[in-house]
Amino acid sequence: MHVTYRMLFDLKDVIFDKEWFCKQKENFVLYEMQREVYKKGNIRYDITKLHGKMLGKEYNKTLGHYHPNNFPEIYEVLKGKAIYLLQRPFRINSRKIIHAIAIYAKKGDQIIIPPKYGHVTINPSRKTLEMANLVSTRFSSVYTPYKKFGGACYFYTKNGWVKNKNYEVAKLEEIKAKKVFKNNLKELLNHYKEIEWLDNPKNFPEKFLLKRI
């Protein structure tokens, strides 16, 4: 296992409240990433702790990223609450988003990130959000599009959702998450056949596709 930290200044390109950001002198920790807490084959189990901070008018969030070659991912909320903001671009590096969806999750809920979607995780509270994820080790996340367009297609603020003007995006769809598997993610590592599609995107189950697309 190795631990890395995402600092405030690391998110300079994607923060909504630029006026607030320009006044900040302290480069504090926004979230902690524990990589490869467990691993089986090419699938790793990570834990991320997203602190309950405000970024000016905006709630704390992850930087946001896409997966190359359509690799999917599974998340599970261990503590706190989360909003998973998924966006599917017309093509990678495109400002046109053909589907945007916010998934509201609580402890025990599981969220599947399908192929072709980028995602940001938001902590909509003042308490630390702790979440686990399962993902293939055979790729590196792509952050450039989020930095290029100043963040995700929407920002979650004290006043609700605000559209990012750098995108051409449709109305935001909003749904509640649920528990997808009988087992938690840690236990799923011992049921490799159920999750082997994480390492083989061509076998991604159709039942997990977002119905809108």
Q: Which domains does the chain have, with CATH numbers?
A: 2-203 (2.60.120.10)
> Which DSSP category does 152 fall into?
S
Give the pLDDT band (50/70/90) at residue 213.
Answer: very low
What is the predicted pLDDT for the residue at 211? 57
Instruction: Give the tens place of pLDDT for each residue, 113-154.
Output: 999 999 999 999 999 999 999 999 999 999 999 999 999 999
Among 99, 14, 101, smallest CA distance to 62 is for 14
| Amino acid identity at 128 | T
Instruction: Give the tens place of pLDDT for each residue, 7-50.
Output: 999 999 999 999 999 999 999 999 999 999 999 999 999 999 99
What is the predicted pLDDT for the residue at 210? 76
Give the pLDDT band (50/70/90) at residue 161.
Answer: very high
Is the Cβ–Cβ distance between 149 and 95 less than 8 Å? yes
Residues 6+ apart with CB under 8 A from 190: 40
Task: Indicate the length of the chain as a whole number.
Answer: 213
Residue that the structure tokens 């261990």 belong to:
78
Residue that the structure tokens 């749904």 belong to:
175
Residue that the structure tokens 């053909």 belong to:
98
What is the predicted pLDDT for the residue at 14? 99
Is the Cβ–Cβ distance between 87 and 95 less than 8 Å? no
| Helix (H) or strand (E) segment spanning residue 81 | none
State mean pLDDT over 181-190.
95
Is the Cβ–Cβ distance between 64 and 98 less than 8 Å? no
